[in-house]
Structure formats: C-alpha cells, structure tokens
Structure 1
C-alpha cells in the first residue's frame, strides 16, 4: 500500500514534531512512516487511525492502492426535465480485486431567470387547482401566498395517494415542457450511492434493467468505494463521467459541481465530497463527514414514482 503521509503533511504544513504532540505517537515511529514509500508491514492500525484523526482525513487519503482503474456504464432513467436521472455503474479494479458500485446520478439543470419565472407561474396555477380540489374533499388549506401553504399542502396531498400521483405527473409535465423547449445550464451533478435496499426495490420496478446491470458489471459492492477512493481519484472519476457521459448526452462544457454521497467510510462516518469543475480542471471543493448516514431516500422514492 502506497503511503501519502509526507505529501499530506506538506500540504497541511504540519511537522513530525507537531504531529507527535497531537497524536501522542513517538517521533521515531512517525519519522519512519513519513520516510517510507509504502506502509511498513508492522504498522499498527491504531497508529494509522490516530494520524487520520489528527489530520482530519480518512484512511483512504493516507493509504493509496498501487493501481486503480475505472470503467463506466450508464443506464438512463428519466430525461428532459431539470433532473436528467440515471444509474451509473462504476467498475473498480485495484490490487484487492474488482467490484462495482452503483450510483443514482442526477444532472440538475437551471433555466434563464425569465423562463424560470414563467415556469413558476404555471406551477402556481397547478398548486391553486389542486388546493381547491383538496378543499372540496375536506382539507383545510390557506391561500397560496400564506407562509404555511406549501407545508400544509404537501401534508394534505400525502393523505390522498391518487391525487398526489396525478399532481406529481402534471408538475413533471410542466417542467419537461419548459426544460425541453428552452436553453438550460448545468448547475450540479449529484451522485448518490445505491444501497442494497434501494437496489432490491429497483429490481421490482425495473427487473429487465436490473438484470442487465448485474450481467454487465463486476460484483456489486455497497460499502467499498467510500472506504477506498481518495479525493484525487474522485476528481479523475468526475472528469471521466463528464467526458464520457455528460458532454455526450447534453453537449455541455459549462462549469459545474459533482456532489458525491459515497456511503459509510472507515470510521463509520458518512462521506460527502464535492468536486468542482472549472474549464476542465477538477479539484476538491468540499469534503464533509457526518457521524450518522442520512441517505437520500426521498430522491429515490420520488424517482420510483415515475418508473
């Protein structure tokens, strides 16, 4: 395993003496590790985790695989609206073997301000229409301009599945119409790791596509990518996705952010990494770690309503 400690210390302007004080580890231990190209075989996992905690990095930032090759497969699901959604299969090959991680990928596009305002007016008409329908079946709703309207409206709509389904389809029709007939710009590309539970649900909705995904890719892993990929590798992956998928589908070269929700990392943290693309230069914009996973289930459930 390759050792990135010296590079990380240089980037963070931290000396061996300072790291020793923070971690409580001996200078000799840290100096030996710092001067090693690869992680010494006798290095204790506790040493590595102490260093990672002190430097606020994940262990996959400290340790790198000798080789990491990627192959991408794209499976479109929904297009034409502000959210072009699909599944991307990322096949990874490294010194530990091969695996595949699946992500829901959503390309968020935005309209020019005057066109967006026109779409908003059409959506307001739809909300007004369905608010009247809900009132007629006994749901007390205030005026559209009320601060509580949208909160109360959504709660009321959830009580009536048929009305909710019709409303969502009409709302999507409005968005599809505006986004397919007007100039758009890419705002953000979101990639959310597909959990085993999500994949099981998806198999019931799209069994043929589910079987194609299984047959055309390596064995599916739901937890390795968050533990093994570094931010520099995510930058390379983002660039490949932009070149091989986004530009080919949307003819786009605009600046945008790749927002990765990777799942559970080495310490049980939930890894979120944003990669910023400015004129073909990809770099990490923000990396965050939360103690508990907050998965994008609402996005998944909304997606299932349209499949």
Structure 2
C-alpha cells in the first residue's frame, strides 16, 4: 500500500463510531478527552462554536470539518459564551443512528434544531503510532469552500445520508465511509501544508523524491534497500537524496526503514500466527537470529515473548 494508507491501516483499531445529532437552542455539549482516539465534528446545518480551554472559540459554519487527531477534549455550543455545558458525553454512547442513538435532551416545545452535526470517533493503537500522527496539530479545521475538497464533501454527504436513513447494509457502509472520510481529511490537510514551508511528514509527502523513496520502502520492506537504491527510486544521486530525506524527516532513510520493518513485524506478531522465520523474511531479514536481535533492540523484548505478552 502507499504510505498514507499504511499509516491508517496500521494505527486504526476497533470499529469507528459516528452519530448524527440535532442541537436545539440554547445548547452546549462537552466532549471528554479520549486518550488513544481521534474525533471529528462536521457541521451539516446551522452554525456553532468549538470551545477549547485556553483558546479563543472557533466559529463553525455549515460544511466545516473539525478533526482532533489526539483525542483532546472540547465543547460544541450554540454561542461562544454558553450559559451552561452539558456533562461530558460517554464516548461509548457515540454510535449509529438507531436504537443505540446518541441521545440529546430536547425540550417538549423545541422548534427546529439550531444546528445538526455529524460526530465521529476512531480508536488508534498507540503501540503502532506513526510519526505522521505526531506531526498533526491538536486541531485541523477545514472550512467549507465551494468547489474545494469535492471528495471530502461527497463522503460527508454519503455518510450523513446513511446515518439519517439507515437501510440494509448501513452497518457495513458506515465504517467504510468513516475510514474514507479520515483519509480525505488527512489529504486535505497535507494539500495545505506546502505553502507553510515546514519540514516534517507533511512536507515529505509533498516532496516527490522523498515520497517515491517512502513508497518503495512501504511497498517492499523486505528488499535489501541501500541509500543508493532508494536514491535511484527518488531519481536523485545518493548524497543529495540522503540530505533531503534527513532534513525533512529528521532521520536518515535506513533508520526509518528499520523502524518501519520493526513496526510491521510487531503488528504481524500481534495479529497473525505466522512463524517467526516467515515474519523475519517478510521484513527483510534472512535469518531468524538477525531478526530477533533487531527486534529486541527496538522493543527490548524477544519477538516470541512479545507475541505471548501481546
């Protein structure tokens, strides 16, 4: 798979959750911090405010997408200074729009909702945290702009329709759409980064040479890569490639390759019953002994014991 797909596939765990929520004025709802999770809020109708401790309230309009990659707590409210905040919702209540619906108390005489939001949550396995996640800010806000990010908008529309009008197959479609939505959010964020002139993963994935080398490592981690062969994939000579890769990602290419091989091996040990020699070969080690040594240097424990204690 490509780098971004690999990152999501390795970190995502469990079943993503979502809900369509109608808010009636006056309203405010706290969303508690959830370590090891990422959350999103999308305004489908109306407007509201995102409130975070120590920061100025952020106005949100219909079509705005907010992503919190580190599971930080926040409040959604109908005004920047809400009179009262509902207790923090239990993340386990955030689920599909059916008999397990995320409930909001609505006054008997309430009129039309002041806002409708789509809430979502993803569980992330921090044991396989990719440095790309660490580069993400606490808040990614993608304001609605006509004609921008059409794939993201289309996915939002499809997800909202499934949640509002569940049918046969909705339980299969919704998780797939949530994963698609996550990828489109990250794509949109990555597309905005080059103008900032930053280093890090966003800059690396917008650099064709570095991306080509990363794609090669992710596509075939078992290949006996050298700096020279990776430079050839990048279309550069050896020294300029090594300097560019290290400047953008803060580590030499072969250091990242070893990290990725060990991360892949750890995931295989946890999730498969493949023998150690097969896992060693899959991540580029010709002998089980050499693989065990590299794995222990990375995790401080032998592969077999890691599997048994996982």
TM over 0.5: no
> Bigger radius of gyration, 1 or 2?
1
TM (norm. structure 1) is 0.26
Higher strand share: 1
Question: Which structure is richer in relative contact order (CA contacts within 8 A, separation 6 or more)?
Answer: 2
